[in-house]
């Protein structure tokens, strides 16, 4: 969205709240303003807004929505280098779980866990962040990319990590300003460039800039499922096919390998069983096989899984 317009609306709402003696919503509005400042990389100003007090403070009302300010305070604490404290803030906030807002907490836990080198925890938290309504919002997806890039780099997937970084920084400056100020992310970027070499790194970065955010978000959800192997090598193998599988066909192929029935796949992807059958037939045709068992074996042999 338009952050400048949003900030103006928040300021107008805050003026109204101050005129009517700081109702409980005042603190939540201050949090929203703090978020816009954080996203732009204005950390000191963001902290002032996130820690703002209201003269009329309704703890019960605040606790309903506290996942939101807690998540951003955790993220800000991570960006200041205190990952342990950031993780504790997120963990404590889970006691006030709000079905929608808790996704921000999971994101903050993923970032903090990355800073603590707790990669499995970070992966689980990122998966939880991408499982829910907010994951359909592009602004939220942008915020998930830095942690995903770090995890890819640590999973020995340097080109995929570089691609994710390339996609990350195609986002609007008002949503990604904080990312260029995250020391851990900058260090990872330098390590990737040294590992790949300038030419390969740039090629991966530029390829990442062409990726579709929605498709990448779906892929990250699959990648960060517990005990699910990372898939960048699979993507590379897929491109080597005479007729590569589409993103949707790869999704269906992975679900087939996981033992899903056609109905299960339809439920998972929110499509009809008829559509699933069409995808399965396309997969069989492209791989030159006739059964699910053959499909799994063939895909494994080609390193598509």
127 inside domain: no
pLDDT reported for residue 49: 84
In a domain, 158, yes or no: no
Please report whether residue 99 resides in a domain.
Answer: no
User: Three-class SS of residue 241?
Assistant: coil
Residue 289 in any domain: the answer is: yes
The DSSP output letter for 303 is T
Report the pLDDT value the prediction gives residue 170, as an integer from 0 to 100.
Answer: 93
Look at residue 255 and tell me if it is in a domain. Answer: yes
**Is 254 part of any domain?**
yes
pLDDT of 79 reads 95
**How far is the CA of 95 from the CAs of 64, 69, 91, 297, in angstroms?**
11, 14, 8, 44
Residue-wise pLDDT for 285-299, tens only, equals 888 788 888 888 877
DSSP for 50-94?
A: HT---SS--HHHHHHHTHHHHHHHHHHHHHTT-HHHHHHHHHHHG
Reported as a pLDDT band with limits 50, 70 and 90, residue 80 is very high
Full DSSP string of 213-251: HHHHHHHHHHHTSTTPPP-HHHHHHHHTSSSPPPHHHHH
Give the chain's domain count: 1
User: What pLDDT, on the 0 to 100 scale, is given for residue 269?
Assistant: 86
Overall pTM surpassing 0.85 (yes/no): no
C-alpha 264/C-alpha 277 separation (Å) is 12
The boundaries of the domain holding residue 276 are: 232-301
* CATH number for the domain that contains residue 272: 1.10.10.10
Residue 107 resides in a domain: no
Most confident residue range from 50-64, 202-216, 230-244, 287-301: 202-216
With a pLDDT cut of 70, the percent of the chain lying above it is: 80
80: CB partners within 8 A, 6+ apart: 43
CA 242 to chain centre: 32
Backbone Cα Rg of the chain = 21
pLDDT tens figures, 144-189: 999 999 999 999 999 999 999 999 999 888 889 999 999 999 999 9
What's the pLDDT band for 228 if we cut at 50, 70, 90? very low
Is position 89 within any domain?
A: no
């Amino acid at each position: 969205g338009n952050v400048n317009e949003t900030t103006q609306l928040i300021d107008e709402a805050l003026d109204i709240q101050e005129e009517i003696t700081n109702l409980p919503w005042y603190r939540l509005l201050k949090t929203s303003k703090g978020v816009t400042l954080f996203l732009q990389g204005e950390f000191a100003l963001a902290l002032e807004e996130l820690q703002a007090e209201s003269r009329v403070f309704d703890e019960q009302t605040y606790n309903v929505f506290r996942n939101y300010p807690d998540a951003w305070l955790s993220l800000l604490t991570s960006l200041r280098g205190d990952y342990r404290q950031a993780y504790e803030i997120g963990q404590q906030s889970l006691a006030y779980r709000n079905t929608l807002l808790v996704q921000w907490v999971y994101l903050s836990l993923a970032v903090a866990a990355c800073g603590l080198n707790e990669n499995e925890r970070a992966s689980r938290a990122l998966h939880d962040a991408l499982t829910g309504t907010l994951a359909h919002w592009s602004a939220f997806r942008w915020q998930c990319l830095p942690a995903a890039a770090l995890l890819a780099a640590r999973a020995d997937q340097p080109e995929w990590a570089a691609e994710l970084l390339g996609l990350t920084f195609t986002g609007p400056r008002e949503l990604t300003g904080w990312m260029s100020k995250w020391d851990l992310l900058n260090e990872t970027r330098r390590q990737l460039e040294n590992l790949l070499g300038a030419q390969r790194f740039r090629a991966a970065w530029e390829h990442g800039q062409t990726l579709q955010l929605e498709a990448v978000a779906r892929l990250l959800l699959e990648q960060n499922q517990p005990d699910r192997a990372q898939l960048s090598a699979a993507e590379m193998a897929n491109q080597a096919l005479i007729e590569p599988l589409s993103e949707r066909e790869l999704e269906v192929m992975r679900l087939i390998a996981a033992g899903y029935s056609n109905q299960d796949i339809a439920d998972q992807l929110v499509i009809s069983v008829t559509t699933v059958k069409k995808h399965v037939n396309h997969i069989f045709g492209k791989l030159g096989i006739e059964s699910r068992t053959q499909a799994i074996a063939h895909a494994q042999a080609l390193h598509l899984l």
